[in-house]
Structure 1
Amino acid sequence: MDTLTNYSQIIRTILTEYSQLPYAYGQLERQLIIDENANHYLLLTLGWENKQRVHGCLIHIDIINDKVWIQRDGTETGIANELVSAGIPKDKIVLAFHPVNVRQYTDFAIA
């Protein structure tokens, strides 16, 4: 299995686990959207909480130039840590939600 296929499988596995976690309140659900051809991975939250419509991105990951770019991370523990635990090296993960000048102070890739 090549590296990108491995990264894709790791991301898919972790996001699938997240997508199956039920919400304890509201009429909310998680929806996993994967575009393998373009290497886009999204986990959305949608539904209703009280009388408010909820529709938002919980996690957004792209694979760009052989690196995993975390565009959005709405988890409490940090999806990057789970990706590292699953075998993706820190120097192959970009915390894209941080400005470029801040990324140098993380343990992860700058770009």
Structure 2
Amino acid sequence: MAKLEHYRETVQKALSDYAQMRFGSSSRPDLEIQTLFDCQHDHYYLAYVGWQNDSSASQSVRRVYSPLLHLDIKNEKIWLQLNTTEDDITEDLIKLGVPKEDIVLGFHPPQMRQFTDFAVG
């Protein structure tokens, strides 16, 4: 149970740090960056939400819902389900004390995970 709590805190810290870093450098003031933590079911998200002005059309705005990161914790492993950033969150998790064998690249097909340096599932 201590490992699970550590992973929950680690994932929340990593996503909060990403949110702070992106919010502080965002050139899109009309977008909100949201961290969504479902600690009961161990689902963790970072997403842009809001409206963006379309500069190519006068008075045109478009709705933005853009997930950036999605991580789950399953069977005491951290599953990276989605990463649409150019940042390597796995390296940040490792720096925060998560061993590679407890990180699953869930966006890879199961038969391909054996060829990564991370857990297969």
The TM-score with structure 2 as length reference comes to 0.85
1:24 to 27, 30, 34: 27
Amino acid at match of 2:76: D
> Which 4+ residue blocks in structure 1 deviate beyond 4 angstroms?
none
**Cα deviations by residue, 1:61-110 (Å, 9 ceiling, x for unpaired):** 11001110111112212211111111100000000011112211110001
Aligned to 1:6: 6
Aligned to 2:44: 41
Aligned to 1:101: 111
CA RMSD of aligned residues (A): 1.4
Aligned residue pairs, count: 111
Amino acid at match of 1:95: L
| Structure 2 residue ranges without an equivalent (≥5) | 54-60
Written as runs of structure 1 = structure 2, the 5 A alignment for 1:71-86 is 71-86=81-96
SS in 2 for 1:104: helix
Larger radius of gyration: 2
